[in-house]
Amino acid sequence: MEEEFVKWLRSVAPYIHAFRGQTFVVAFPGELVKAGMLPVLAHDISLLHALGIKVVIVHGSRPQVEEQLDLRHVKSRYYNGTRITDPEALECAKEAAGELRMDIEAAFSQGLPNTPMAHAEIRLISGNFVTATPLGILDGIDLQWTGKVRKIAYDSIHPILASGDLVLLSPLGYSPTGEAFNVRMEDVAVSATLALHAHKLIFLTETPLVRDVKGDEIRELTSHQVETLLKTAHLSQEAMSYLRYAAKACIGGTPRTHIVPYATDGSMLLELFTHDGVGTMVTYENVESLREATIGDVGAILKLIEPYEANGTLVKRGRELLEREIEYFSVIEHDGVIFGCAALYPFPAEKMAEMACLIVDPDVQGEGDGERILNHMEDRARALGFDRLFILTTQTAHWFLRRGFVYASVEELPKDRQRIYNWQRKSQVLIKKL
């Protein structure tokens, strides 16, 4: 038992180092509170806070508003899934937001001994941080006090986070005219994520894990894959909505967005601190700039790799060889100029693939393009059914070690690759499990 604990703690250490000082936006619907899972969520967020992560919390209130409307015997009205907020519905939204704020503040005030929040002393700050504007009249229907986010007071939120406190945002926004508007929780969450340049947006959802048309779990998606998936009809309206907002955040510049079902105890922690996670992660990949190579790219690739062939970093490739192997290459380009490439050579018998010729133009190094190419090649390898990726290098081993590769021996390479291993170069072998 002790050994398992030590092994687990060591395995999460890289995530702790990577996340410290970053800003996370954690958004959840009112259904989570109704399900009685707020105390557990407070425990998990307090752990993130203790690890040095800055957290902004955004809550929804749909079932609570419905409950208030039912008490007043008022029927809800919707337009394309959006609540029409008339004066009575607005009063209900205010009451629900006030009640939820008190419940959330109480949950984060826990500090009993022998509990996860002992000695936590977390302070939760809320206020008029969201400026909203009315949605107006759509298709002849006046949505009244239903609004959308116009601005997030990021200049006020940053100092609060820097001081070690948490920020709470409700699904209510305020206009310069002094009016309150009912806004979507997802809209507030995405707007806050983009305004604060948050590193992650985490949606804790009432929906199950996203699946494809075959019923298989979807663990990772790019923003353009989301667009393709939304064209299918098998997803629920709630899942489609979360995916749209997740993709919007990524397109706006958020590195990672996670859609995590809250039904699993500790689902947010499992998603963040385990390799496979328990939810669906959405990332941004510009399909116009990162793609598989074509025969027309041969000249540009040759120009890119020639300096590295000349100094011995890469094994020399002639134009003929490159033309024959072009199907294995991927390139990254901007405005028609290729400034990075890599190749993926398959070894299906061992379910392994070799990544070779990973090059980024020196003029743009340090901007994360090398890592983007690496992630792209890992996705290609997984799509082909491979479970291990290996590289041979003489000068860049440390770069790959920092990205999950480990040292290996020549004997661990596929048999066909062992036979052509160049013992004179003495290349180091590194392998990564996918």
Domain finish residue from 283, 304, 332: 283
Q: For residue 103, what are the domain limits?
A: 2-283
pLDDT, tens digit, for every residue of 149-191?
Answer: 999 999 999 999 999 999 999 999 999 989 999 999 999 999 9
Local structure of residue 427 (DSSP, 8 states): P
Using the predicted structure, report yes or no on whether residue 288 has a pLDDT greater than 60.
Answer: no
pLDDT surpassing 90 at residue 311: no
Asked which of 266, 283, 300 is the last residue of a domain, the reply is 283
- Strands 337-347 vs 352-360: parallel, antiparallel or unpaired: antiparallel
Same domain, yes or no: 294 and 339: yes
- pLDDT value of residue 55: 98
Taking CA atoms, 94 is separated from 37, 69, 102, 125, in Å, by 22, 12, 13, 18
Q: What are phi and psi of 217, to 5 degrees?
A: -65, 140
Question: Are 274 and 401 in a shared domain?
Answer: no
Is residue 265 located within the same domain as residue 359?
Answer: no
Task: State residue 139's pLDDT score.
Answer: 85
Identify the CATH number of the domain in which residue 228 sits. Answer: 3.40.1160.10
Q: Write down the pLDDT at residue 318.
A: 86
- Band of the pLDDT at 321, cuts 50, 70, 90? very high
Specify the CATH number for the domain of residue 308. Answer: 3.40.630.30
Report the pLDDT value the prediction gives residue 112, as an integer from 0 to 100.
75
The verdict on 36 and 166 lying in the same domain is yes
pLDDT at position 183 is 96
Instruction: Name 26's Cβ contacts closer than 8 Å, sequence gap at least 6.
Output: 45, 55, 56, 57, 58, 202, 204, 268
Predicted confidence (pLDDT) at residue 309 exceeds the cutoff of 80: yes
**CA–CA separation, 40 and 290 (whole Å):** 41
Decide which of 318 and 98 is more confident: 98
Nearest to 433 by CA among 399, 393, 382: 382
Model confidence over 247-257: pLDDT tens digits?
999 999 999 99
What is the model's pLDDT at position 397?
Answer: 92
Using pLDDT thresholds of 50, 70 and 90, give the confidence band for residue 343: very high
One domain for residues 307 and 339: yes
Place of tokens 């090059």: 359
Mean pLDDT over residues 34-54, rounded?
95
Q: Residue 147 pLDDT > 60, yes or no?
A: yes
* Residue 407 confidence (pLDDT) above 80: yes
Based on the fold, state whether residues 221 and 332 are members of the same structural domain. Answer: no
Rounded CA gap, 187 and 330, in Å?
A: 35
- How many domains would you assign to the chain? 2
Note the pLDDT tens digit of each residue in 57-73. Answer: 999 999 999 999 999 99
User: In whole numbers, what is the pLDDT of the chain averaged over residues?
Assistant: 91
Task: Determine the angle formed by the axes of helices 237-251 and 223-230, rounding to 10 degrees.
Answer: 150
Query: Within a 10 A sphere around the Cβ of 408, how many other Cβ atoms?
Result: 16
Query: Does the pLDDT at position 285 exceed 80?
Result: no
Whole-number pLDDT of residue 287: 53
148 and 225 assigned to the same domain: yes
**DSSP conformational letter for 217:** B
Contacts of 418 (CB under 8 A, 6+ apart): 410, 411
Would you place residue 335 in the very low, low, confident or very high pLDDT band (cuts 50, 70, 90)? low
pTM passes above 0.75: no
Indicate whether 50 and 134 sit together in one domain. Answer: yes
Comparison of pLDDT for 172 and 9, the residue scoring more: 172
Return the closest-CA partner of residue 60 out of 209, 196, 169: 169
* Structural contact between residues 249 and 270, judged by C-beta atoms closer than 8 angstroms: no
pLDDT of residue 214: 83
Range in 107-121, 260-274, 323-337 the model is least confident about:
107-121
**367 and 259, same structural domain?**
no
The average pLDDT across 228-234 equals 83
Q: What is the pLDDT of residues 347-356, one digit of tens each?
A: 999 999 999 9
User: Among the three residues 283, 318, 345, which one is the final residue of a domain in this structure?
Assistant: 283
| One domain, residues 259 and 356 | no
Claim to verify: residue 212 and residue 302 sit in the same structural domain: no
Do 323 and 276 belong together in one domain?
no
Provide CB contacts within 8 A for 91, sequence distance 6+. Answer: 68
